[in-house]
Every structure is written in structure tokens, then in C-alpha cells.
Chains A and B, each alone.
Chain A
């Protein structure tokens, strides 16, 4: 196993940031921690990178214990924190050189690993890191986290606040790194990125709601789920929330995802109800659950 987390807990005063968490990440796996701010994702990353000591439990990364063998871990792990943490007043190239030197290597030695990513920012290698755009900062941070050829890559919300185009590029890069036998643990608040991982853990309030492959998680959604649309979104949501048989009502893009509490739900009865609420252009159609649906059902 590349990462083994056993009964890890951590509290800050009365707040339980992590509450008895256990899971494993296999070698070469792209594993996603999916959850909102405050779920405990960053705390877990800090424990795995030896920057924070857990109150209880054990963890190993690349075979090393996070407490007893913290120095070895630092040599074998690449870490990209959520907040941009490179030297803003060093240039792109100086930052990369700095991290290479600290880890006793050179840019040339491991250039293969970062070529795809670094090539995109190399034209700006003399620019100070603080002057880079968000997407370029992210690529530089990833290059710096990779320059010592780590076995395990830990990425804490690398795509938060990043636009959809740069996000897609970033995930393409992760897929290519995975082919080079690097194990990747990545966290994100974007549920659509979960589908790109081999396995995911849905996390909230310091606990794990579920761990599985994205497909299996979606397949286990407990109820038939329907897309409901009408002429007025606001009144549609209000009407659905006021319907006595509703189980869940969540806006999803142009439709509302609706589940019913009755085992023998007939969409015709819902259509009649919505018509009685003066809604028109009513559209009800069965749809497939997404990871976000599952997350919300589990978190309810």
C-alpha cells in the first residue's frame, strides 16, 4: 500500500477536524478526497506530510511512518498545499532550482517527469512567481512538487478557484503522471472531478461518508431520481419543497433533481400537483444519479 491511514483523529479545541478516519491508497492509484471546506481534508494532508501530529491513530506513506520516519517521508513525497506556497519574489526557474537543490537533485536529472507541465511555463521562466496567472502558478507548484521524483504526490485542492478549462488541463496532467507510477492523493470540492479518480472518499465534518469507485458510488444511489423542469425555476423549487411526498429536492443545472418518498411513485401524480400550482411547461423524466446526488443523500 502506498498510503495507509488507520484510525486517525485530530481535534482543534472542541472541533473534531478528523474523527477516527481509516483508508488505504494502492500503489499507482489516483485517489480523490471529495468534500467541502471544513471537511478535514487539509488536516489530513498535513498529517500525511508530517507537518502536524495526529491526536490518535497511525499512518504510513510510501511505507514510512508519519511520526517516526518523518524525514524519509519528506524525501519521498511531493506536496502541493492548497495555498500557493512558492517564493513569490523568486522567478519561475529560481523556484524550481531551489526545490531541486533542497532535495539534492537538479532540474536536468528529472526533467522527463515535469517536461509536459514545465514546458507550458518555460517561456516565462524569468518572471517572478508572484506575477504569474493562477493557472501558471498551479503548473509551477506542481513542477516543484515533482522535481525530486516522489513516489507519492499529495495535492490539496489544486483546482479550487481555477476555471473549467485550466481544471481540465490539470486533470489531464494528473492522468499522465499516474502512468509514470506515481501514486496520487488529491482533494477537491468539485464533485465533477470525482469521476476522474480511480477511487474516491466522500468526506464531511471530519468523517468519511463512503469510499468506492465513482461508478459504484453512483450505482448505489438508493432511489429513482427524476429531472423536473417548469417555466419558473423559483416557483418550481418552492412547489416541490411543499409537496408532501418529496424525499429530496435539489436544483441541478436547468432541472431540479427530485426523489419521492413513496415506493410506487408515479410521475403523473407529480405532474398534476405541479399543474395545480400554476406551473406550466412541466417536464419530468428519469435521470441518473451523480456523485453530487450521492454526497447530498449521505450528508442529509
Chain B
């Protein structure tokens, strides 16, 4: 396997009864790449992502994530990736510092390691004044930026982001993406889902799932050429419409 490939997916499939949620999808993601994983509600994105982060077993097919098999080494995968979703990210009733300590502990960091990381994170994110405040009292945008940093406490090779910016104000949304660029620039691979089509343009490559299959996969620029569209939004609408 090429050392630069950090996610390799081969005919990955998930069936629920007679319904095929994910239908033999195959693709690769390289080190330091920002990979956009798009699709309509119900297209199978979440199911596919669950298999890749090791919490759902494929019905057939295989995927290697950070060099480990999702079929046989799911526990090792969990140690080598970060995960953050819009729905669950941090504990609202713990303070900023407590959340960092809690997740640092889960990821197996030492006490000193946690303290160092916490100090650095709080400074970088400008959270000094609120480090002892409950996370629940912070604006959503701050929470999401903190959650992203927390998901990378253990310096994972890959971070999975499931709609990380839903409902976040436009300025914070961009600051969030600047953090993503920075992480990718440092070699972390970013696997991200979003419903904001302008964010799809920020990705190095984008895949679009329709009814369990990957119907398109390329750079945003080439997808726009291929579908003769002037934006990713138009690409998305064309693909989904054609299927109906």
C-alpha cells in the first residue's frame, strides 16, 4: 500500500435487511488531503462514516483507515483518528478545561501532556477568560472550534468531521475552515461532511453519494467542468435531480 494513502476503501457495503444503505463504494484519500464527503439526507453518508471510524461492521467489502482494517482492527482505528460531529462534541456541563482533561484522558495522554495541551489550546483559541466557564454557556461557534481542537488532542492522522459548521455564524464558519486548512497543511487528513456547498469548494476533492453509491468524485474544479456547472451547488442539484 502506498504510504501516502491513509484511507483506502474497497467495495465497502452495508445492508440493513433488504435495504442496501452503502453499495460497494471504493475510493482513496491521501495524507494531508481535505476530502469532502457529500450527499443528500439518507444517501448513506453517515452509515459509511460509521464504518470508517470503526463503530459499524461492514456487511461486505473492506476499508483500511490509517493502515488498519475496519473489519478486524476497529479498536486500533479509534486510537488513530479524531471524530467530531455537529450533534455531539463536548460536555456542556463541564468547563472548557475539564472537557480538554476528560478527552485527553480518554485518548491516553499523560497528566503533564494534558496540562500542556490545555494551556496551548486555550491560548490559541483565545479562551483564557472563559477556561473555567461551562462549555454550555459558550456561543456555538466557540464550542465547535474547541471541539475540533479537542478531537485532535492525540495528534491523530485523520480527523472525521460530521457537519461541523451547521448553524454557525458565517465569520466563525470561516475561522473554522482556516483551522481545517492549518491542520491539513500540517499533514492531518480531513474527512468532512457538510450541507454548505461553498464549503465543498474548500475541499481538495469531493465525493457525492446518491442512494448508497458514489456518483461523482473529483476536485471541485473538475466536477464543475464535468457537470457544466458554475458552482458546487449546481453540481449537487444536477446529480441528485438526474437520479430521481
Q: How far is the CB of A238 from chain B (nearest CB, A)?
A: 9
- Indicate whether A252 reaches chain B with its CB closer than 8 angstroms: yes
A300 touches B184 (CB 8 A): no
Stretch at the interface among B18-26, B147-155, B193-201: B193-201
Size of interface on A: residues with Cβ below 8 Å to B: 36
B239 and chain A: residue at smallest CB distance: A165
Q: With A37-B140, A253-B198 as given contacts, are A161 and B166 in contact (CB-CB < 8 Å)?
A: yes
- Indicate whether A135 reaches chain B with its CB closer than 8 angstroms: yes
B202 touches A251 (CB 8 A): yes
B197 touches A164 (CB 8 A): yes
How far does the alpha carbon of A235 sit from the alpha carbon of B181 in the complex, in Å? 9
Contacts of B236 in A (CB 8 A): 163-165
Q: How far is the CB of A105 from chain B (nearest CB, A)?
A: 31
- Indicate whether A166 reaches chain B with its CB closer than 8 angstroms: yes
How far does the alpha carbon of A234 sit from the alpha carbon of B178 in the complex, in Å? 7
Contacts of A252 in B (CB 8 A): 198
Interface residues in B147-178 by Cβ distance below 8 A to A read: 163, 166-172, 174, 177-178
A35 touches B169 (CB 8 A): yes
Selected from A164, A192, A204, A251, the residue in CB contact (under 8 A) with B169 is A204
- Indicate whether A27 reaches chain B with its CB closer than 8 angstroms: no
A237 touches B181 (CB 8 A): yes
B171 touches A234 (CB 8 A): no
Contacts of A168 in B (CB 8 A): 237
A161 touches B195 (CB 8 A): yes
Selected from A35, A36, A253, A295, the residue in CB contact (under 8 A) with B202 is A253
How far does the alpha carbon of A37 sit from the alpha carbon of B173 in the complex, in Å? 12
Q: With A164-B236, A166-B41, A251-B202 as given contacts, are A37 and B181 in contact (CB-CB < 8 Å)?
A: no
- Indicate whether A266 reaches chain B with its CB closer than 8 angstroms: no
Contacts of B42 in A (CB 8 A): 133-135
Interface residues in A172-210 by Cβ distance below 8 A to B read: 189-192, 204
Q: With A36-B141, A37-B168 as given contacts, are A165 and B221 in contact (CB-CB < 8 Å)?
A: no
- Indicate whether A233 reaches chain B with its CB closer than 8 angstroms: yes
Selected from A134, A135, A251, A254, the residue in CB contact (under 8 A) with B221 is A254
A296 touches B171 (CB 8 A): yes
Interface residues in A5-51 by Cβ distance below 8 A to B read: 35-39
Interface string of B58-87 (1 = CB under 8 A from A): 000000000000000000000000000010
Contacts of A163 in B (CB 8 A): 39-41, 43, 195, 236, 240
Contacts of B178 in A (CB 8 A): 234, 237, 251
Selected from A36, A37, A161, A165, the residue in CB contact (under 8 A) with B241 is A165
A15 and chain B: residue at smallest CB distance: B137
- Selected A-B contacts with CB under 8 Å, 13 pairs: A134-B41, A157-B167, A160-B167, A161-B41, A162-B195, A163-B41, A163-B236, A163-B240, A190-B196, A233-B202, A234-B185, A237-B181, A251-B202
Given contacts A161-B163, A254-B201, 15 further A-B contacts (CB under 8 A): A36-B140, A36-B141, A37-B167, A133-B42, A161-B41, A161-B86, A163-B43, A164-B233, A191-B170, A204-B169, A234-B178, A234-B184, A250-B174, A253-B201, A253-B231
**A residues in contact (CB < 8 Å) with B:** 35-39, 133-135, 157, 160-166, 168, 189-192, 204, 233-235, 237, 250-254, 292, 295-296, 299-300
